[in-house]
Amino acid sequence: MSGFDRLGSALQYQIANTLGWSNLRPVQTQTIDAVLDGKNCVVLAPTAGGKTEAAFFPLLSAMDASDWRPVSVIYLSPIRALLNNQVDRIARLGGMVGRRAFKWHGDVGQSERRRFLREPTDILLTTPESLEAMLMSKRVPSRDLFGGLQAVVIDEVHAFAADDRGAHLSAILERLVRFCGRDVQRIGLSATVGNPDEILRWVQGSSHRNGFVVDPGGAKKRADLSIDYVGGLENAAQVIRALHPGRKRLVFVDSRRKAEELGKLLARIDVVTFVTHGSLSASQRADAERAFQEGSDCVIVATSALELGIDVGDLDHVLQIDSPPTVASFLQRMGRTGRRDGASPNCTFLCTSENAVLQAAAIVDLYRRSWVEPVEPSRRAAHILAHQILALAIDRGGIVRGDIWGWLEGATAFADLTREDRESIVDHMLNRSILADHDGKLWLGEEGERLYGRANFEALYAVFDVPRLIKVTADAREVGTVDADFLRVLTGGEPPAAFTLAGQPWEVVHVDWPRGVCVVRPAKDARAARWSGGPRFLSYALCQAMRRVLVGDDVDPAWSKRAQSTMTTLREEHRFVRNEETPFVESVREITWWNFAGGAANALLAKMFERELGRKVVTRNTSITCRENAARSSAAIRELMVSWMRAERPSREDVFEFAAGDETRVSKFEPCLPTPLLRELQAARTVDHPNARRALATTAVLPVAPHSPVIGRTKP
């Protein structure tokens, strides 16, 4: 039987007549077989490749045949915007067999939530944070609500698996399994992932079902790529106006601030422009996305939020300001194009600096080699275990210590934590009064209440830190949010204070700090708003690709004449890199080691140099520079590196000593961890131990000049 033949007759009729489909795509046929065979799946297909239908056709068929009771399917998304975009689509699919869907997230009103709790729907669309809030809320009868759960669909699964939100989600899934008492089927959807088998293992958790990766393969459309050097954001705006007139263009930037700046520049030169990012109100984002969807000759400027499968209609062209930090992100963004018959996926890089040209060229180099970053889920997420202990204490109205692991056993995020690790976390939290023992049940202690008890434990809904945001309103309508620190500095200067938000300039009328509200009115011009967050380290693989581009002679067909000229200059400036060994470049009181090891590896090596040579060491993604006293001799630096390599350093002790330390916070649950587990977490987040040793190994084999001075530890 084909996959279609295995579906219920009612659903077959609806697919053929309501949807008007004459056949199914390979990914849908394969997924139907896997899901109806009871397997856990990771489903791979390009954006708009039909993954949603692939997952829901067999689930709806089983729901109809076995008369599952609500809530039987949970659909999880990494962002609210994707939920908003998918709810009508999934509700329409469910409606074909008389089933209903509901979305639950922070923008959904209380009256709608109460109506859902009175009459639950078959499908619930939500985020891990909203699901956590539901589990912790006394107003949500979790055991009854989720007692009928049969399956979970995780969209954009690659966006979860490698970070804290994925660790959190893996724990929540195990708590849901405890509620319903069955082996819940798990289906992950993704367009881009370099190691799907590892993602499948993460999805499986405690499940004993067989697993299957659905990857229909097939010929891929040839992409139209272009890399251009434009030299600045104002020039980029002019190029965007000139490129593809009369077409819809999606322009990606990698910060909210840059999105606002570019939106303002485009509007100034009469380009119909919409801006969307996570700090705009839900209504602003929806208005922008709808207007863009309905338009024809317009531009939408977006951050990474729009790379996650959100439908903005038929899209003609994707442009990228500078370069995304990963190949996976590039593939997601380019995948928004080329959906129509006869159309090709395309992406134009508009680089505002020479380094951006090099990074874009390296991204394309890796793409042409069919390389995508592997996703590496955590298996020792001690801080997320601490979070889950606190959440369970509230969820259960106090929890017996011996019952904690029964709720979480099987969660991939805790698979490599030993019993001693788990017990040390509870002991530490009790000693710090983060937990308190009340008649044999654990509850939040005095310090736990202080750290996490405000606003009805709101700090425990999400595992990530959220900076204080001020809501911006104009004529009683919410525009979005800005960082409180940015607004405080802005309003402390010369009046009038003004900033750009949603691509429009606003003047500050009044700030109600206690309520967290800023009232604004339209202005003629303003500076771009600022939000917290900094640049990400580039990976070892990407930096090595940058080196490969620099030492090569090839001219990629994607490079424009300006990009070719820029690359010629960069290659000439970096001729020393052509040496087979990793080079040192000496100048006045400065020595630079060009290792192309990536930011996290160089962060570790730079701190080791600082300890031995002094405090004048500067680290970058591609190099480490020793200055002043630290730059006395490259031969001496090499000798030091040889000694490290012979001693098999950086060692585990080096990693713990030179990781972020107390000056950098990597999780809001740091206070819950005993020192060894805290240092391990800091090391995992801030340094790259394997590639630091790899960089040393490729350089320390160089001959050391005889009689080179021995470099000792510099005194303060």
Please state the separation of Cα 487 from the chain's center in Å: 26
Q: What is the mean pLDDT of residues 641-646?
A: 89
Least confident stretch, 4-13, 141-150, 555-564, 577-586: 577-586
Beta-carbon count within 10 A of 65 CB = 14
pLDDT at 713: 28
* DSSP annotation of 192: -
| Residues sharing a CB contact under 8 Å with residue 321, sequence separation 6 or more, in sequence order | 233, 236, 251, 252, 253, 254, 258, 262, 350, 352
- 312 falls in which pLDDT band (50, 70, 90)? low
| Residues sharing a CB contact under 8 Å with residue 506, sequence separation 6 or more, in sequence order | 472, 474, 479, 498, 499, 500, 520, 521, 522, 523, 526
pLDDT in tens, 241-275: 999 888 888 999 988 899 999 999 999 999 999 88
pLDDT in tens, 404-419: 999 999 999 999 999 9
Least confident stretch, 338-347, 457-466, 613-622, 669-678: 338-347
E strand or H helix that includes residue 447: helix 446-452
pLDDT at 94: 95
pLDDT at 580: 59
pLDDT at 531: 78
CB 317 within 8 A of CB 305: no
CA gap 356, 464 in Å, rounded: 29
pLDDT at 703: 41
Q: What is the mean pLDDT of residues 355-383?
A: 94
CATH hierarchy code of domain 382-460: 1.10.10
Least confident stretch, 262-266, 526-530, 593-597: 526-530
* DSSP character string of 631-687: GS-HHHHHHHHHHHHHTT-S-HHHHHHHSSGGGS---TTGGGS-HHHHHHHHHHHH-
Identical fold for domains 224-368 and 382-460, yes or no, is no
Q: What is the mean pLDDT of residues 572-595?
A: 82
CA gap 586, 427 in Å, rounded: 53
CA gap 195, 44 in Å, rounded: 11
Least confident stretch, 305-319, 470-484, 538-552, 582-596: 305-319
**HEC string for 348-403:** EEEECCHHHHHHHHHHHHHHHCCCCCCCCCCCCCHHHHHHHHHHHHHHCCCEEHHH
Sheet strands (E) in 215-344: 224-229, 248-252, 273-276, 298-302, 317-321
**Is the CATH code 3.40.50.300 the one for domain 3-214?**
yes
Instruction: Give the strand pairing for 399-400 and 441-444.
Output: antiparallel
Q: What is the mean pLDDT of residues 276-298?
A: 80
Residue type, 50: G
- Where along the chain do its domains lie? 3-214, 224-368, 382-460, 469-528, 579-716
Q: What is the mean pLDDT of residues 477-489?
A: 86
pLDDT in tens, 393-404: 999 999 999 999
CA gap 380, 673 in Å, rounded: 12
Dihedral (C-alpha) 451, 453, 458, 459: value to the nearest 10 degrees? 10
Dihedral (C-alpha) 360, 361, 363, 367: value to the nearest 10 degrees? 140
pLDDT at 663: 59
pLDDT tops 60 at residue 593: yes
CA gap 440, 34 in Å, rounded: 45
Instruction: Give the strand pairing for 40-44 and 185-190.
Output: parallel
CA gap 382, 547 in Å, rounded: 36
pLDDT in tens, 275-284: 888 788 877 8
pLDDT in tens, 669-680: 999 999 999 999
% of the chain surpassing 90 pLDDT: 57
pLDDT at 712: 30
222 vs 186, residue with greater confidence: 186
Coil, helix or strand at residue 518:
strand
pTM > 0.85: yes
pLDDT at 620: 92
Sheet strands (E) in 484-530: 498-501, 504-512, 517-522, 527-528
Instruction: Give the strand pairing for 346-351 and 317-321.
Output: parallel
38 vs 489, residue with greater confidence: 38
Mean pLDDT, all residues of the chain:
88
E strand or H helix that includes residue 429: helix 419-431
pLDDT at 675: 92
Helices H / strands E in the chain, number of each = 29, 26
CATH class of the domain at 224-368: alpha beta
pLDDT tops 50 at residue 716: no
- 68 falls in which pLDDT band (50, 70, 90)? very high
pLDDT at 715: 29
Task: For helices 689-699 and 599-613, give the axis angle rounded to 10 degrees.
Answer: 70
